[in-house]
Chains A and B, each alone.
Chain A
Amino acid sequence: MKELITLAFTAFLVQNIILSQFLGICSFLGVSNKRKSALGMGLSIFFVITISGVLTLSIYKFVLVPLELEFMRTIVFILVIAAMVQILEMAIKKFSPGLYQSLGVYLPLITTNCAVLGVALLNVQNEYTIVQALVFSAFTSLGYTAIIFTFSYIREQMHKAPIPEGFAGIPAGLIAASIMSLVFQGFAGLI
């Protein structure tokens, strides 16, 4: 149990997926302009990564390894993720139209978000058990949601700041992310 809590904190803060692993940067820079869309994207990512993390590891462990097809993992994982996102989209549309209204636009974008495939590959690379993979995937994606949501506040404030024309937009966003990443390095002493 203690081990799992350590894993959760490491995934959430110390090795934050955006600020120290550099996964999901495209959506981080693209979507985080507005608070509402940042939260929508973050929540969709949380669902997709948690489910796909466990699903891909199960497929790897119980199908690919026994059949000695490990070299197929990249192709199989991306197909599983694409199919899962599609099914999730249809399920949400059917059971909760309200949620679909707010998350629907972000779901198709998630297939090509490197954070999703990244977590699936990290689960395999770190040789996690299914339970460990569940904790790792859930907290990694929560870390993503927390960062993208916090960052959207910073971006909103940056619109009011007098930034030189050449640095406005993405360069200023990257520099703000650098300061945030520096702050998160402080968590390394936590564990």
Chain B
Amino acid sequence: MARKITPKQNILKGLFEQNPTFVLVLGMCPTLGVTTSLSNGIGMGLSVLFVLILTNAVIALIKNIVPAEIRIPVYIIVIAAVVTLIEYLVNALSPTLYDSLGIYLPLIVVNCIILGRAEAYASDNSIKDSIFDAMGMGLGFTLGLSTLAFVRELLGTGSIQMFGITFFDSTVAASFLVSPPGAFLTLGLIIGIINTVKVDKARKKKAIMDEKIKVALAKKAAKQAAAKALADETALQNQSTLKGAM
């Protein structure tokens, strides 16, 4: 990378500017699959965060040893090993989370975000930068999953259940949102709203720029007109002096 960025910028980049869920639209399978409840969403997000940090660190470490031709298979093996590790860790720490994440936990191996960051960032950056990049991307993914899961669980079941506590208990619920079609709809609407806000902002910025250009052009035109008027006047004067001389 030609441009040096600070660790803070690196993390913020993953969280907002290049958010993997809402901006890059990567890793959609777990995004839609596990976000039926907030605790699942956060659990999945944190698992991906740990896998990302470990794989990015390992790949940045071995980037000079691995020949370029076989780098992708090597990356995949590293990722698969780390994912197996996390799978057993989650099973040991929280068997209920392990059961509810189900098949999506081993499927982190083929999550586009992990291989994407390994190939696009860790393969030609230092270990420290790669770890910060992984933190940003992982936290961005967690933020995306929890936003989606929060909306779906709150509106779909009427309450949020986490750590055995129930928040916002309500009897009104649109259970459609917890079902598969609800997943597609909620994600589509959230991305659509974010894009609309962005388009609006860009349009306003453009309008301001246009206004500035218009003002500048008007000033230029006025200046030219004044200069022309002056020139005309002098020409007229010259003419009259000529006439007077004749």
Contact = CB atoms under 8 A, between A and B. Distances in A.
B109 A175 contact: no
A79 B77 CA distance: 8
Interface string B178-190: 0111111101110
A113 interface: yes
B197 A166 contact: yes
A181 B87 contact: no
Contacts of A63: none
A19 interface: yes
Interface string A90-129: 0000000000000000000001111011100110010000
Q: How large is the interface on A (under 10, 10 to 19, 20 to 34, 35 or more residues)?
A: 35 or more
Contacts of A112: 110, 112, 115
A20 interface: yes
Q: How large is the interface on B (under 10, 10 to 19, 20 to 34, 35 or more residues)?
A: 35 or more
Interface string A19-52: 1111111100100000000000000000000000
A19 B26 CA distance: 17
Interface stretch (B28-36, B54-62, B155-163, B237-245): B28-36
Contacts of B191: 170-171, 174
B84 interface: yes
Interface in B26-83: 26-30, 32-33, 73, 76-77, 80-81, 83
B123 to A, nearest CB: 16
A177 B115 CA distance: 26
Contacts of A122: 103
B193 A71 contact: no
Given A71-B88, A82-B76, A165-B199, A175 B32 contact: no
Interface of A: 19-26, 29, 71-75, 78-79, 82, 111-114, 116-118, 121-122, 125, 164-167, 170-175, 177-179, 181-182, 185
13 contacts: A22-B33, A22-B183, A73-B106, A74-B106, A79-B77, A82-B73, A111-B76, A166-B195, A172-B188, A174-B187, A178-B182, A178-B183, A185-B179
Interface of B: 25-30, 32-33, 73, 76-77, 80-81, 83-84, 87-88, 102-103, 106-107, 109-112, 115, 179-185, 187-189, 191-200
